[in-house]
Chain A
Amino acid sequence: MKKSVTLLSALAAIGLMTGGASADVIKVGVIGTMSGPYALFGKNFKMGIDAWVAEHGNKVGNHTIEFIYRDEESPNPAKSKALAQELLVKDKVQYLAGVYFTPDAMAIAPLLDESKTPLVVMNAATSAIVQKSPYIVRTSFTMWQNTVPAAKVAKTNGSKKVAIAVSDYGPGIDAEAAFKKTFEAEGGKVVEAIRMPLNTTDFGPIMQRIKDSGADTIFTFLPAGPPTLGFVKAYIDNGLKASGVKLMSTGDVVTEPDLPTIGDAGIGILSTYHYAVSHDSPENKAFIAQIVKDGGKLDEITMTSVAAYDGARVIYKMIEATDGKRDPAKAVDAVKGMKWVSPRGPVSIDPDTRHIRQNVYLRTVEKVDGKLINKETKTFEAQPDWALSSK
């Protein structure tokens, strides 16, 4: 008996020595809104990553990949920075990922160079984030990316005078600038630009102001979450929809989980976005089937799950390229120019900006088989981040 124990430990020791470099655990720290008002989107990070792992296993070569989740909760730069530090120092993660809010991503960025850690941003949508560190890659979207097509659509749909109403923070200001620049370049006129505080709940006075401006179209951006619903309802109930004022937005305002709550009154609202849950492709069907198989609810799927799914793909590629070693430059180089077909359509990582190029779709809220969906009606192919790339 004693002998076999010795033998076993000897074997184990040999196993440890030979396996040390290659058969290890590589940790990926995911920072997302796991609780609080934006918990749905953190949950989607996890659903997307889980779907990728379920399909492709938790191993890259000999390396076992482990995802560790931390809760950013709200726009809270100090907390997010502390979480990132804890992940880097205590958990010794080799990659960081996730991040719902722009200010949080900005707070984490300075840590990346110091610790030689790549960050794959799975949501935060202000253009400048990728410029804060050469080790940042983004698989979500930016406001410029989704807004420029919206301004073009507004023009071709015959809008002449537009009122812009955006949330008063980074992405909102990006959206305002992108729309204004594009729409005015096409010959349209912006008659009102309102910046609404993030915690606005009563949009009645905003609607009154828009009405007084004489605009024929509203362009709006609010971060997906509780206030978007209030905005859409105020637009309908204050009679702007009935009097023919059109509403254009990025898809954040009409995320699929909110559509049943907006109700039939929302039918006809236009938005431009990079992902609709109803996107018709075999990749998307397989992706959604996988999430549902893992216990996710169809009605809770949002754009952050697909960004996380593609983000996990990018991280796997980085690990493969570096064979599990900490080499952020090589890891990031390996994914520059990477092309694949995502559940949202064909995408690629722009080698210059490290931001994802993707199709942006014009969608209309429609009722299909008794269910409200964002029906894609037009495709703008391979859109870059228009703030960083000119074509």
Chain B
Amino acid sequence: MQTILSIGLDGISYGMVLFIISIGLSIMMGLMRVVNLAHGAFAMIGGYLASYAMRDLGAGYALAIVVAVIGTIIISIPLEILLYRRIYRKSDALTQLLLTIGITFVIIGLANFIFGPTLKAIPLPNALSGPLDIGFRMIPTHRVFVIVCGVITALALWLLIDKTEFGIRLRASVDNSDMADSLGIRTEWIYAATFALAVGLGAFGGVVGAELLPIEPFYALRYMVTFLVVVSVGGAGSIAGALAASLLLGLADTTGKYLAPEYGEFFFYLAVIVIAFLFPRGLFGRAH
């Protein structure tokens, strides 16, 4: 019983890391119809900025997260204006893939050139590092923090998209952008803001997930498949879907690793195949 609880806890925290990073990608794919392969690269930029802020500028952990999120958004603004704006919603998938994978390679090269090939640590504050005794086992304190972050992110996004004025305009723009335009919604601004939101979430995930997915130049490609899988299993654009997919896949992966580590990611992909078979549009995907 204890073991089952333990694995469950490990699985949930791993799933939450996947969720926080993948939700930005899900928003991009679901709402803007952009398969943004550079999403991992933005998460990585967030990680690098946080590491730089803490180690070289002496910032605290909370400040480093803010610096990472805002800094990554600032870096992405010229990319949005020059490149991404052209591929929202309309262009074909191949153009999107070539453009975003190209951006990814450029960012990997730059990261390698500027920061070098070594791992970059994001030191945790004392309150979040080390083990935490939760009665039946010790768990890394950081994992608890990640779970809390995941829950807050999911709630905040749900409120933002379902309950606010911005959310209404966003959904209007997504469902029928011409009509939204003629009703006086500045869809261009809505898209830019959503892009910034997706990038910012990626950066946030890159920082808080760095304990499990360490920051190094190849981060951008190494975990991209995992993020894409989460989004497609959950259904692009669905917050509940991304959350459910992350937790399910996190649990499948963790259980597999505990029971039969030599099978590698077999269980992770088995879960993907089963879900994709039962729900071709993803768990909570909508027909477009």
- Chain A residues with a Cβ under 8 A of chain B: 35-40, 43, 168, 194-197, 199-202, 204-206, 208-209, 212, 226, 229-230, 233-234, 236-239, 242-243, 257-258, 260-261, 263, 265, 300
Contacts and interface: CB of A to CB of B under 8 A. Distances in A.
Interface string B108-129: 0000100011111101000001
Scoring A168, A204, A233 by chain B CB atoms within 10 A of each residue's CB, the highest score goes to A204
B258 A37 contact: no
A208 B6 contact: yes
A237 B212 contact: no
Contacts of A35: 112, 117
B95 to A, nearest CB: 27
Scoring A199, A238, A257, A260 by chain B CB atoms within 10 A of each residue's CB, the highest score goes to A238
A39 B112 contact: yes
A201 B212 contact: yes
Interface residues of B, number: 42
Sort A-B residue pairs by CB-CB distance and give the 10 closest, nearest first: A239-B138, A237-B140, A197-B264, A39-B117, A261-B121, A205-B258, A239-B131, A205-B257, A204-B10, A37-B218
25 contacts: A37-B216, A40-B116, A40-B117, A43-B117, A168-B262, A194-B262, A195-B261, A197-B261, A197-B264, A197-B265, A201-B214, A202-B254, A206-B258, A212-B3, A233-B211, A236-B130, A236-B131, A237-B129, A237-B130, A237-B139, A237-B140, A237-B211, A261-B121, A263-B121, A263-B123
Interface of B: 3, 6-7, 10, 13-14, 112, 116-121, 123, 129-131, 133, 137-143, 211-214, 216-218, 222, 253-255, 257-258, 261-262, 264-265
Given A208-B10, A260-B121, A230 B257 contact: no
A162 to B, nearest CB: 17
Given A226-B119, A243-B138, 13 more contacts: A37-B216, A197-B265, A202-B257, A204-B10, A205-B258, A206-B257, A208-B3, A208-B6, A237-B131, A237-B141, A237-B142, A238-B139, A257-B118
A379 B60 CA distance: 42
Contacts of B117: 35-40, 43
B137 A239 contact: yes
A194 B131 contact: no
Contacts, number: 115
Nearest to A197: B264
Contacts of A202: 10, 14, 212, 253-254, 257
Contact of B7 (A200, A208, A229): A208
Contact of B10 (A37, A205, A239, A242): A205
A289 to B, nearest CB: 21
B8 to A, nearest CB: 11
Contacts of A209: 258, 261
Nearest to A33: B117
A239 B129 CA distance: 11
B202 to A, nearest CB: 17
B119 to A, nearest CB: 6
Given A202-B254, A230-B212, A265-B130, A196 B261 contact: yes
A194 to B, nearest CB: 5
A238 B138 contact: yes
Nearest to B131: A239
Scoring B120, B138, B141 by chain A CB atoms within 10 A of each residue's CB, the highest score goes to B138
Contacts of B255: 205
A261 B119 contact: yes
Contact of A204 (B14, B118, B120): B14
A199 B213 contact: no
B284 to A, nearest CB: 25
Contact of A208 (B121, B143, B258, B264): B258
A205 B7 contact: yes
A259 B172 CA distance: 52
Scoring A39, A194, A242, A261 by chain B CB atoms within 10 A of each residue's CB, the highest score goes to A261
Contact of A258 (B112, B119, B258): B119
A103 B54 CA distance: 39
Contacts of B14: 202, 204
Contact of A238 (B120, B140, B258): B140
A265 B141 CA distance: 14
B124 to A, nearest CB: 9
Contact of B218 (A36, A230, A234, A263): A36
Given A37-B222, A201-B212, A257-B118, A238 B254 contact: no
Contacts of B253: 202
B118 A300 contact: yes
